[in-house]
Amino acid sequence: MSLLLSGGFVYQEGQFSRCDVAIDGQRIALISPNISSISFDHVLQFNDCFIIPGLLDVHVHLRQPGFSYKETVATGTLAAARGGYTAVCAMPNLDPCPDSPEHLALEQQIIDNDAIIDVYPYACITHGQRGKELVDIETLAPRVIGFSDDGRGVQDIGLMREAMNRVAASGSIIAAHCEDETLLNGGYIHDGDYARKHWHTGIPSASEYKQLERDLELVRDTKCRYHVCHVSTKESVGLIRAAKQDGLPVSCETAPHYLLLCDSDLRDEGRFKMNPPLRSEADRDALVQGLTDGTVDMIATDHAPHSAAEKNRGLKDSVFGITGLETAFRILHTRLVSAGVITIQQLVEKMSVVPREIFNIGGGIEVGQRADMCVIDPDITSTIDSAAFYSMGKATPFDGMYTLGDIAATISGGKVVWQNSTTQN
């Protein structure tokens, strides 16, 4: 099948230029102004839209196998496509979790059968994510995007050192959930003004940055490629900035909610509860600064769907986690790009280009490349409505938010896997 995307501004090497994109089968066949539409099976007109490499989210929970009442690979990847993603990296807190080739094969079979975009699974760092015994890193490394015990920090320093040595030798990467459990004190939101005013038990910022500080010293010794998940504190930003200045192989992500919200935005509702929690205004500002100066490499959603019953018990008793795949681009475009904080090119870099580079996932709008891209219509206005989500998880602190700019279409392997009915063709 041949497909022509006509009338848009195409992103190549950090710049946009008005071009058409011709797709033949799964590959990009031609990029040029004013390509004749006569010989194509399908033509999509995207006048004045932006055509960019498909977004990549390196931190997504698809919940299968084991928790299909929360999400499935089918619903999660459809939600991702709606959000402009052509690839996601799937976190390993599953049942069974991918801590052996057999368990990984079960997850991979579901992905192969049900995913409508590319899904790259992580393997666990430790068996059962229990922090006691390392998985067979050498056997699993060629089959996964990296290693993570996301949801839990590896508490044993000796075990983490051994993991880094073996992951470094394998050429893979560790994606670390940094959390010192001795500092949690039963907390469930940030230990800040809101928690004190409303008599909630707080999680101190030190629970994140103290374990990060420990791990960065291990990286210095082992030279392991090390990626920090969902950075939320100003101290973490400072530590990562210094580590990069020292030349350590360190990267990090933050999530849209940490860039746009802080603990003063909290309500006593489960849709505002995630781990790490929304921090202070100073933390949020440090993350935005880190985003603009290059300390924060990328934006990932930490899409963590749960059932309504698990999320309707307020801040104290709801489980941690919110959804993000269907809202990330449009809220960031509205609050950061349209507000002049960053450019559209910078947002594309943080959500597509840089994560692909760091995690060694190819892509880009070039002749011969696989046709994985999304189309952005900067003029679509909408209001976030969680009831309309494709994801089974409906918990988002952005419900009801007005947005400017949205995904017009998502193309994966030359196939249109989602198209916005708002955009006329």
Q: How do the domains of the chain map onto residue ranges?
A: 54-358
Please give the sequence-ordered ranges of beta strands (E in DSSP) within 373-414, or none if there are none: 373-383, 402-412
pLDDT score for 421: 85
Closest listed residue to residue 86, CA positions, set 110, 113, 135, 52? 52
pLDDT given for residue 425 in this prediction: 52
Q: What pLDDT, in 10s, does the model give residues 324-349?
A: 999 999 999 999 999 999 999 999 99
Task: Tell me the per-residue pLDDT of 213-238, one tens digit each, with 9 for 90 and over.
Answer: 999 999 999 999 999 999 999 999 99
Helix (H, G, I), strand (E, B) or coil at 53: strand
pLDDT at 79 over 90: yes
Active site includes 302?
A: yes
Domain 54-358 of CATH type 3.20.20.140: yes
Q: Order of strands across the sheet with 298-299?
A: 173-176, 225-228, 250-254, 298-299
Of 57, 149, 302, 406, the active-site residue reads: 302
Which of 8, 23, 19, 6 lies closest to 415 in space, CA to CA?
A: 23
Q: Tell me, what amino acid is at 98? A: P
Digit-coded pLDDT (tens) for 84-120: 999 999 999 999 999 999 999 999 999 999 999 999 9
